[in-house]
Structure 1
Amino acid sequence: MNTRANAVRAGFSRGWIEFKQTFTNGQDISNYLIFPIISLIVMILMRNSDAPGTTYSLALLTLPSVLGMNVVFSGLMGAAATLIVGREDGTLLRAKALPHGIIGYLVGVVVYLAGTTVVTVAVVFVPGLLIFDGLEINSAAAWFGLVAIIALGFAATLPLGAIIGSLGNNPANMGLLFLPVMAMVGVSGIFYPITSLPGWLQVIGQLLPMYWVGLGMRSVLLPDAMASVEIGESWRTLEMVGMLGLWAVVGFVLAPAVMRRMARRESGSNLAERRQRIMQRVQ
């Protein structure tokens, strides 16, 4: 039997099992619900405010942006956290000892994160459909576009999260990633149109994948008239696909090299040292 194909199948199986187990864990369930509930409450409070220059609710503009933000969070922070924990608890080291075990491990991570991404989007999107009027999701093209943007956003951010996870070695330091990610939210036009920001912040925002994923979500879910609040009063679909594609290509070029270097350095002695440091901090 082809050992590589066997490793891929094992990875799919493991990722699916780990994803299903999130519905049996109270902390995972709360992670699925807490931030979406907060986001929905914020959007409900914004419901009576109009987006600048339109008669549409600002909450309607924000809903697709929040969906895009959740995709980026899952791909970026989810991948980083999963890899850091995998190094810390020895999962990666055990995978390294198996034929093509690293490939199987990474396939499992992708399957697990893809599942959690769909859930985090759904828990905002489904209530949003019921609460807010105006989303244009009544055609096959809109549903196809929604799935395509989720997939493209996931591909653009997952390698970046893998790079961060390969460079980090302490789950406690994940909190340090939260601040720059929230700064990314602030300049990416998630809760308010990016055109309302100073020009230099607009430039920074357009360099980041979160802005383009949010723009893509808005382009498939909102009426064309709402493009008036965007840069150039356009959804800029080609630019969106190009920028996210560029992030994906760069990430998939750099991530394997960084991860191979990380995997080569993993050993039982390194794992023991990290655990000893943790025990010393606890004591």
Structure 2
Amino acid sequence: MAVRAGWSRGLIELRQSFTNGGDVLSHLLWPVLMLTVLFFLRDTAFGTSGLLLGTLALPSILGMNAAMGMVSMSQALTAEREDGTLLRAKATPNGMPGYLIGKVVSVAGGLLADLAILLIPGIFVVGGLAIGGPGSWATLTWVLLLGMVATLPIGAVLGSVFTSARSQGLIQLPVLGMIAISGIFYPITAMPDWLQWVAQAFPIYWLGLGMRSALLPDGAAAIEIAASWRHWETAGVLGAWAVLGLLVAPVVLRRMARRESGSSVAARRERALRRVG
């Protein structure tokens, strides 16, 4: 019952996000900006490797966008906790499980749409991609699915911890920092060793690496750490984050739901009105 209700709720939210002008703009804005960056990088070579930065960057940006799903999940939970949507879900039978399933469906669906908006024209903007074989698409699929399982629960935890939409900047700044050191726009091997170790502790680097392994020719692995795509390590680290998130998220969400009440929603609304006033 909860799964069916959550699935229906998620599909409705996803459909609404593509019929609302503001949401459509948000779906298009980031891919268009990234395609503009790729356009200017398309002819820039990386050292003497013979590879172009635009070719290297496209799969990495796809991985980064997949990881940013945790920010979208966090923002949605925080906003709907603040406006009372979460409290209304709590008051209905199977409301919380259905709500969370619906949120995962809508966020994941929007994420997949955003990736398609970036990837399809990106194939024509940059050259040198290895996308002809079924192996490439199989790798892309398992990396993307495992990456979403690894990151969306983290977003749910963060959305439960932060009580105000204004606090979302505390999440975005560290995420932007991780993106900067994770080899998204420039190969990680060009960075100091200690930064490479820090980047490898988080899922953004591994999502980027997995996407590069799916879409770049085998020779491109020469500029990666250990000159390898490290599929086993990618699966291991993303899997570890997925297990951690799936264990922690339900506990944190249950505790957060128990604390929700009409008075807490009213208090947050009053604080928001005072800030506006």
TM superposition score category, shorter chain reference: over 0.9
Q: For 1:151-190, what aligned pairs fall within 5 Å after superposition?
A: 151-190=145-184
Aligned equivalents of 1:53, 1:199: Cα separation in 2:
21
Q: Say whether 1:63 aligns with 2:58.
A: yes
2:38–2:126 Cα contact (<8 Å) kept: no
**1:114 match:** 108
Q: Say whether 1:241 aligns with 2:229.
A: no
Q: Choose which of 81, 86, 99 in structure 1 pairs with 2:80.
A: 86
Question: What SS does the corresponding residue of 1:211 show, helix, strand or coil?
Answer: helix
Alpha-carbon deviations, 1:1-55, whole Å to 9, x = none?
A: xxxxx22211100100100111111211111111111111111111121123411
Q: What residue identity is the alignment partner of 1:43?
A: L
Q: Choose which of 12, 18, 21 in structure 2 pairs with 1:23.
A: 18
Alpha-carbon deviations, 1:137-189, whole Å to 9, x = none?
A: 11222112212111111011111111100011111222232211110111100
Q: What residue identity is the alignment partner of 1:234?
A: S
Alpha-carbon deviations, 1:88-146, whole Å to 9, x = none?
A: 12111111111211000011001001111101111110011112122111122211221
Q: Say whether 1:138 aligns with 2:132.
A: yes
Runs (4+) off by over 3 Å: none
Q: Which stretch of the first structure deviates more once superposed, 126-135 or 195-204?
A: 126-135
Question: What SS does the corresponding residue of 2:163 show, helix, strand or coil?
Answer: coil
Percent of residue pairs identical: 49
Provide closer, same or farther for how the CA distance between residues 53 and 248 of structure 1 changes in structure 2, counting only shifts above 3 A.
farther
Q: Which stretch of the first structure deviates more once superposed, 251-260 or 38-47?
A: 38-47
Q: What residue identity is the alignment partner of 2:167?
A: N
Q: What residue identity is the alignment partner of 2:28?
A: L
Q: Say whether 1:43 aligns with 2:38.
A: yes
**1:274 match:** 268
2:63–2:204 Cα contact (<8 Å) kept: yes
Question: What SS does the corresponding residue of 2:18 show, helix, strand or coil?
Answer: helix
Question: What SS does the corresponding residue of 1:216 show, helix, strand or coil?
Answer: helix
Aligned length: 277
Q: Choose which of 206, 209, 217 in structure 2 pairs with 1:215.
A: 209
Q: Choose which of 226, 229, 254 in structure 1 pairs with 2:223.
A: 229
Which 5+ residue runs of structure 1 have no aligned equivalent?
1-5
Provide closer, same or farther for how the CA distance between residues 265 and 34 of structure 1 changes in structure 2, counting only shifts above 3 A.
same
TM-score, length basis structure 1: 0.95
The alignment's C-alpha RMSD in Å is 1.0
Q: What residue identity is the alignment partner of 2:112?
A: V
Deviation at 1:243, TM superposition (A): 0.3
Aligned equivalents of 2:30, 2:81: Cα separation in 1:
27
1:87–1:93 Cα contact (<8 Å) kept: yes
Q: Choose which of 4, 8, 15 in structure 1 pairs with 2:3.
A: 8
